[in-house]
Structure 1
Amino acid sequence: MNAQTSVVHLTGVSRLYPGHPPVRALDGVSLSIEPGEMVGIVGPSGSGKSTMLNILGTLDRADSGVVRIDGHDVAELADRQLSALRAWRIGFVFQQFFLSPGVSALDNVADGLLYTGMSLRKRRSQARTTLEHVELGDRTHHKPHELSGGQRQRVAVARALAGRPSLLLADEPTGALDSTSGAAVIKLLHELHDAGTTIVVITHDHDVAKELPRQIHILDGKIESDERARQP
């Protein structure tokens, strides 16, 4: 595995939070995720999943080890460069949709491109294309309260994808949904994976995890196992 060509490449990454006693949220984690992979980071509450998400999304910095995202050594980047990396290379989908109330689906997605420097016209054009991609082309002018939970999560996915990121991070993407809507969102993520998107799903739900081609189980800040599903 080549650190320069991997979308994610961690070597000996640790993160320690001060306290009495201090909490070692990540403890010497090494892993690589290649372009086009779909990976689940799986573990119970307190296992280190959220810290892993923050490290992969460059929202937090490791205390030791090397973190490379899309070939960039995160430790060598200034805050402004990290913001640019997040804007252009990383898409986020959270359990809560974080859509702006009273704002159309189109502009909720377009607003996700604010930090790219695109004009409003170009942002809206790209947002419309992405909403069509997640099968919401007929809901572009609907506001969040006019959409179902599953549709709102699709808008959130579209917002994450609008910048055409190298890496899509989905944090418990079905956690706020009923089983039917959750299954539809997981199906959408699989379709995006089939189209070449690199996806990391952070979850404690083993039913969600077992549907993913690769599962990395984490406990007490360490990788317990890294398994790939057998090809049929």
Structure 2
Amino acid sequence: MTEPIIELHGVTRSYGSPPTVALAGVDLRVERGEMLAIVGPSGSGKSTMLNLMGTLDRASSGDIRIAGEDTTTLTDAELSGLRAYTIGFVFQQFHLADGVTAVENVATGLLYTGVPLAERRRRAAVALERVGLGHRLGHRPSELSGGERQRVAIARAVVGEPPLLLADEPTGSLDTRSGAAVVEILHELNRSGTTVVVITHDVELAARLPRRVSIRDGRIELDQHDRTLEVA
């Protein structure tokens, strides 16, 4: 069996005093190449789990390994390096820079990898082609639809070809048609080998993914696999 890309063992996360428990003893294993949804209502702990899997936050207790790295032992600088080369992020609100073009927005995904500017732009153009926006390289976010802006954000997340993509409510700001197009892009990335984890409260979106992990009150209450939806 290959090494999983995500492993959580007995992970807890609490905040404040007296403590508010956001995660309570979570165990989760995600194999390389999987595609899954972590689904739950607001306040269930799914965003906390995203932050921990993305090394944006540290657990209060328990063990977390990402791509074989024990994140509890890494310095902040080492965690930044792990994120730069291993994890791509997609958020509901796009987080694009309004004053620059699509290709320049995507090129920022390689900013901390040491890649020269010309090569960053070349790879950004390739990533935009990959998500169907090769004809929009010179457009600014204000000139793009919501669905196109999310595709730019996805291109930025995958321009460095990270093995793991974490998508937080990726269709939450989109209409049905644009949302369906974004989900298909995520499926295509998964078919090409990227591990895709979607954080969502949308049970219909979750039902379209081959694995669904339901979380409530900081605990995993259900972990389902639908073999018919897995990559062939």
- The aligned residue for residue 200 of structure 1 is 197
- How many residue pairs match? The answer is 229
Q: Secondary structure at the match of 1:115?
A: coil
* 1:85 shift after superposition: 0.6
Distance 1:7 1:130 in 2: 23
Match of 1:42 among 34, 39, 44: 39
Q: Deviations over 1:158-191 (max 9, x none)?
A: 0000111111000000011111111110111111
- The aligned residue for residue 10 of structure 1 is 8
Q: Give structure 2 stretches of 5+ with no counterpart.
A: none
Q: Give structure 1 stretches of 5+ with no counterpart.
A: none
Distance 1:147 1:213 in 2: 31
Match of 1:94 among 91, 94, 97: 91
Distance 1:200 1:231 in 2: 18
- The aligned residue for residue 148 of structure 2 is 151
Distance 1:182 1:150 in 2: 7
TM-score normalized by the length of structure 1: 0.96
- The aligned residue for residue 72 of structure 1 is 69
Distance 2:112 2:132 in 1: 25
TM-score normalized by the length of structure 2: 0.96
Alignment of 1:152-167 (within 5 A): 152-167=149-164
2:13 aligned partner, one-letter code: R
Match of 1:209 among 200, 206, 209: 206
2:140 aligned partner, one-letter code: K
Dislocated runs of 4+, deviation >2 Å: none
2:113 aligned partner, one-letter code: T
- The aligned residue for residue 78 of structure 2 is 81
Q: Deviations over 1:51-84 (max 9, x none)?
A: 0010000000001111000110001111111001
Q: Secondary structure at the match of 1:116?
A: coil
Structure 1 position 51 matched with structure 2 position 43: no
1:16 aligned partner, one-letter code: S
